[in-house]
C-alpha cells in the first residue's frame, strides 16, 4: 500500500508541476538559470522579492530535493482540525527560489477532518485527491459558494485570493496534493486573521461585522493565540 501511494504521489507531483508551468506563474519571471535561496544571507543586501541567491559554485543537487511529501502527517494528536499540511515551498526547498511554483500535501482524518476557510493571496491552487473523498468549495466576491465532492483521482481548482475550504467526508483518511503558481503562496486563515491578529482587531468592529454581542467576540478571541 505504501509503495502504491508513493507511486501515486510521484505521478501527481509530475502532473501538477506541469500544470503549474512557469509561463503561468504568478511570481516575477526569473532572470537566470537558477537562484537557490541563500537562507544565511537574509540579513545581507536588500531583497525586494524572494530570497538572495547562493553563489552557483555552492549549489548542490540537495538544494532541489525535498522528501517531506512522502510521509503521512499525524492528524489525530492534539489536532482539533483533523488535518495537517506539509508544504514544499521556497522555505523548505531552496531550489524553488524564483521558479514560481510550489506544492503541498494535506492529510485528513476520516469523517470531518478539515482545512478551515482560508485564502492564498499570491497563488491559484489546483488540488488532486490521492486517497479518500473531500468536500471542497470556494466563495466568490459575490458571496456565492461553489462547492462539490471530489474523489480519488479527481481535481479541483481554487482561484487566487478567494476563501476556500476542504473537508473529508469518507470513512477512510484522505490525502490531497496541491500545486501553486507561486514559490510562496501564503496562507491566511479567516478565523485566525480576524480573531487572533496582533494587535487585535477591535471587538466592536467584529461585533458589528458579525452582528453579535461583544462578549461573544471576546469569547471567540480567547480561543486564538495571537502570533
pLDDT of residue 35: 85
Residue 114 near residue 134, CB atoms below 8 Å? no
pLDDT of residue 22: 47
Q: 2 is written with which cell numbers? A: 505504501
Residue 177 near residue 152, CB atoms below 8 Å? no
- The per-residue DSSP string of 109-166 comes to -TTT-EEEEEE-TT--EEEEEEES-EEEEEE-TT--EEEEEE-TT-EEEE-TT--EEE
Tens place of pLDDT per residue across the chain (227 aa): 555 655 565 555 555 555 554 445 568 776 678 888 888 876 655 455 678 888 999 999 999 999 999 999 999 999 999 999 999 999 999 999 999 999 999 999 999 999 999 999 999 999 999 999 999 999 999 999 999 999 999 999 999 999 999 999 999 999 999 999 999 999 999 999 999 999 999 999 999 999 999 999 999 999 998 77
Q: 110 is written with which cell numbers? A: 476520516
Domains by residue range for the chain, with CATH: 71-91+100-186 (2.60.120.10), 192-222 (no CATH)
The pTM assigned to this predicted structure is 0.84
> Phi and psi dihedrals of 132, rounded to 5?
85, -165
Residue 118 known to bind ligand: yes
pLDDT of residue 60: 97
Residue 38 near residue 91, CB atoms below 8 Å? no
Residue 125 known to bind ligand: yes
Amino acid at each position: 500500500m505504501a509503495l502504491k501511494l508513493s507511486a501515486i504521489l510521484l505521478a501527481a507531483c509530475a502532473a501538477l508541476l506541469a500544470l503549474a508551468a512557469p509561463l503561468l506563474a504568478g511570481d516575477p519571471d526569473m532572470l537566470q538559470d537558477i537562484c537557490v535561496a541563500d537562507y544565511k544571507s537574509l540579513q545581507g543586501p536588500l531583497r525586494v522579492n524572494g530570497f538572495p541567491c547562493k553563489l552557483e559554485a555552492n549549489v548542490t543537487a540537495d538544494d532541489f530535493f525535498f522528501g517531506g511529501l512522502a510521509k503521512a502527517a499525524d492528524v489525530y494528536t492534539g489536532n482539533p482540525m483533523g488535518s495537517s499540511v506539509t508544504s514544499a515551498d521556497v522555505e523548505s526547498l531552496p531550489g524553488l527560489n524564483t521558479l514560481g511554483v510550489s506544492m503541498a500535501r494535506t492529510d485528513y482524518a476520516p469523517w470531518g477532518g478539515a482545512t478551515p476557510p482560508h485564502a492564498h493571496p499570491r497563488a491559484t491552487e489546483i488540488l488532486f485527491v490521492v486517497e479518500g473523498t473531500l468536500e471542497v468549495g470556494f466563495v466568490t466576491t459575490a458571496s456565492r459558494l461553489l462547492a462539490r465532492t471530489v474523489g480519488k483521482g479527481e481535481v479541483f481548482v481554487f482561484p487566487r485570493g478567494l476563501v476556500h475550504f476542504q473537508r473529508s467526508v469518507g470513512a477512510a483518511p484522505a490525502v490531497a496534493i496541491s500545486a501553486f503558481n507561486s514559490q510562496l503562496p501564503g496562507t491566511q486563515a479567516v478565523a485566525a486573521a480576524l480573531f487572533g491578529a496582533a494587535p487585535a482587531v477591535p471587538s466592536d468592529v467584529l461585533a458589528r461585522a458579525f452582528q453579535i454581542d461583544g462578549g461573544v467576540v471576546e469569547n471567540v478571541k480567547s480561543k486564538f493565540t495571537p502570533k
